[in-house]
Amino acid sequence: MVKIYGIPNCDTVRKAVKWLEAQAIEHEFIDYRKNPLAKAEIARWDKAIGWESLLNKRSTAWRPLEQSVKDTIDRESALQLMLDKVTLIKRPVLVKGDAIYLGFKPEQYQEIFS
């Protein structure tokens, strides 16, 4: 089964879920605010996608961070920060088997599920 991670009030997540439903693709939505991510899960995403891609520097959670935190961000601190503030993770994260995809574009999903 496909898993889609995100937060329910995110427009992009809603579009992705709506697309999956329209295509009758069985999926499980995981709200990672209510169901905290395990360190192993985010480490798996990092290995597949890279922490630089996962970290959403345009997030409203990124802006108020201390400048020193932003200036010294590295893999370890980014992963811990994303575990502590899940809204720093770009979304949605789609997990299909061993494959992990980030974001939503209808063309991208069409290719993934064709």
Distance (Å, whole) CA 38 – CA 84: 11
Which among 60, 8, 2, 56 has a CA at the least distance from the CA of 32? 8
Which of 2, 3, 7, 10 is catalytic? The answer is 10
3-state secondary structure of 100: strand
Q: How far is CA 102 from CA 17, 64, 95, in A?
A: 13, 24, 9
Is 102 a known active-site residue? Answer: no
**Three-state DSSP class for residue 40:** helix
Which residues participate in catalysis according to the annotation?
10
